[in-house]
Structure 1
Amino acid sequence: MYEFSPTDEQELLMEAADQFMDSCGFDEEYFKRCYDEHRVPEEYYAALKESPFGTLGLPEQFGGVPVDQVTMMLVQERFFRRNFPFNTPVLQIKDAQEFGSEEQLRKVTEALKTKAMAFSLGISEPGAGSDSTCIASTATRRDGKVYLNGTKTFITNAAYCPYILFVTRDLDNPNPYAGMTMWFVDASAPGITMSPMQKIGNKSAPICEVYFDNVEVEESDIFGKENNGFMQLVKNFELERISIANQSLGQAEYCYLTALEYAVTREQFGKPISSFQLIQDKLAEMRVKIDNMRFQVLQAAWMKDNGKSTQVESGLAKLYNAREAFEVCDMAIQILGGLGYTEESPVGRVWLDARMNRIGGGTDEIIIKSVGKELAKAEAKRLNRR
């Protein structure tokens, strides 16, 4: 059903990705420094932006090179498997094109000339994590202006991005899903304050609590349609989850390849530890998991390219890959032994980072709930046809 052998063009792109990483001048020491300093690797992203990969997947009118999702996933994987970040503004441009005004699209594209990301997503709140119907942030109209109030939490790159998409809810609307509105807000606007939060991993993508205290905006700052924020929010869930699944795949590959090289070169009891059956068992299991993870990603990407719904497949890919990646990273630490548990080895850092993908973009539990519901619905529909 699926043919995933890379084309000649895809092979050339992946080779070019390797050449970029070899010659860009950014190494493990640089990324570790950014990680320890809790900052976005801006210098690297600036170099990536100047390369052909910085605009990969963008429409031509934005100076991009349109590619299908399978190609995008293959290139992303190439970066992730070498522990290089890979961030393109495809989804942000896509959102601004589809929902934003001309002025908002202009601001996004202008910001992306110097930034890796134009806006952060102000969705989660202290009382509203997976259950977005509990969002308590409000928009109040007064004297021809709109005033935003509320607290957002776990907002990734809020202090880095020049804008924030702030989600409010009409608390009087009987349908909580129908009362959400997105606002495109300058992150430096009066009334906005931020408080950094400390994470155990993913430290190069810092998070903040963000406080809105009577932040004054205009009606024209609505992003998309009023009361349509929830539908806009879920619009790109499928692409986001495929991308997260692909990141998990790359993290697993990096740890596997590191552990494999170590096992072949590390000697104990007079022989390489790769000759011991318990180590061989781990290496074989890691490889099986990685091959299965790659299929999950490419299947979902292929379906997306062919106009098929991937609501189930993208969810399953993220669920499976995030879980298996963490196990593969954990096995790699076990093979490396004490070295794997030190800051000398990047594997420990990747292990911490990989754990996040079971939370961000939809927790395991939320995905199981939504996928299970869709599977049951499809089976009920099939049975009713009899």
Structure 2
Amino acid sequence: MALRRLMSTGLGAALATTALVAAAPVAAQDVSFEGQTIEYVIPFSESGGSARWANFYAPLMSDTLPGEPTVVVRYRPGAGSTEGANWFAEQDTDDGTLVFGTSGSTQFPFLLGDPRVRYDYADWQVVLASGTGGVVYFPPDLAERFDGDVDDLKEEFFLYGSQGATTLDLVPLLAFKMLGLQVDPVFGVEGRGDGRLMFERGEANIDYQTTAAYLANVEPLVEDGIAVPAFTWGALGDDGQIVRDPTFPDMPSFKEVCEATEGCETEGVAWDAWKSFFVSGFAAQKMVYLPGSASQEVVDAYTAAFEEIKNMDNFAEISEETLGIYPQATGDAARAANEEATSITPEAKQYVLDWLEEDYGVTME
């Protein structure tokens, strides 16, 4: 696959500033992990995007952390990732031998006030934030009626394979509602891969996949004439506005489609709610944390290691298939991403809670 041109987007301004300030990463003095094993825990199973992301970074961390420790990815799935996050919240390992990787499906329960959540992101120290994107696609017969807006598709009845209304599928389901599409989610699929298989079998007629999954699994369907891409969720521009996804610059963003579709608004509480979960689920989807008890020297060591990884001459090439072309934020940029991805206004939160209850009977009680 040809390497796509790197573009700055999605928390890009903060990331660019950090890159200038930290052109020569601070060497963490008196920190060495020589002979030690770093446990890189993710609250998911061995399959899926988070596992691919963690296993991409693990060997690079081994090479760049001081002392070249062994970095082993551990899996603690359960309760939609809240079980693993609750476990991490109880850890007080301060020597840097434990890190935790979250995803949007860990952030969403926190934003929604899920009673299963016993963790607080403010208690952790973020050292990396990774963005991603997503692509919505139709079968060819419906794609013929998409011309930048979905006005001609509002009478169509859609089926969509969904993991659940409070998972990452919250972003597409709310987007479909804002566009006025009649989408009936089939809840209970185990992953987005299963949603794609439903589409391939003709059991669903609308789907989305994250960037990595789209590039690996949907582009072949496009080449075979089975699927036609329509739009992306977009990315965050330097001014905090939604812009086109840099991995798919020829596709319109959801914002563009919303603006072109009658009745869809890109301002107001619905838009604020969608954007909050888009940032949490995509623009800053995956983050690496140290426990709050870790020392500043340990935090600096991890920051320097991730900076070294990002600055590798071939990083864009080796990361494109797994990460796409999105910012990998460290230092101040990672902290800014963490703040934006784990906060929501009370009005936007209440809007989402009301919508979930009214449309799907889902409550946070």
Per the shorter chain, which TM-score range?
under 0.3
* TM-score under structure 1 length normalisation: 0.26
- Choose between structure 1 and 2: higher helix proportion: 1
Greater relative contact order (Cα < 8 A, sep 6+): 2
